[in-house]
Amino acid sequence: MKMTVETLVNAPVAKVWSAYTTPEDIKQWNTASEDWHTTKSTVDLRVGGQFSSRMEAKDGSFGFDFAGTYTKIVPNKLIEYAFGDRAGVVEFVPAANGVTVRVTFDAETTHPEEQQRQGSQAILNNFAKHVVVKDKAAK
């Protein structure tokens, strides 16, 4: 089953793209809740390139790697990737006051759909906040 989450980011597309694809930025926004964090991130942003993010509970009780391979890259517009036997797409859609970031992915079968949707939406909301704060700080 495909699942989609999206958010509007009030920043120029180049800054949105950069924050989505830069490991140091990813480590700052890639979390669904305050008790988790991303401790490591790597990005080789090219078709066939690999990505990986290590997410861990801050209390050290659990952690996992989210990793895959980029299958299509259209700068400032689209990222397609495969992870395991699943696939995902990130679209960067121009909007009147920023960029809509839409993530569509194959849901997994271990966790309930709503939990996956809520977690993915929370991560994307953190991403939007991170980009806006970073953009304001740069001005």
CATH topology assigned to domain 2-34+70-138: Alpha-D-Glucose-1,6-Bisphosphate; Chain A, domain 4 (3.30.530)
Predicted confidence pLDDT, tens digits, the chain (139 residues): 899 999 999 999 999 999 999 999 999 999 988 999 999 999 999 999 999 999 999 998 999 999 999 999 999 999 999 999 999 999 999 998 999 999 999 988 888 888 889 999 999 999 999 998 877 777 7
The SS3 call for residue 104 is strand
* Nearest CA-CA partner of 120 in 13, 31, 16: 31
* Nearest CA-CA partner of 92 in 72, 74, 78, 75: 78
pTM of the model as a whole:
0.92
Domain boundaries, the chain: 2-34+70-138
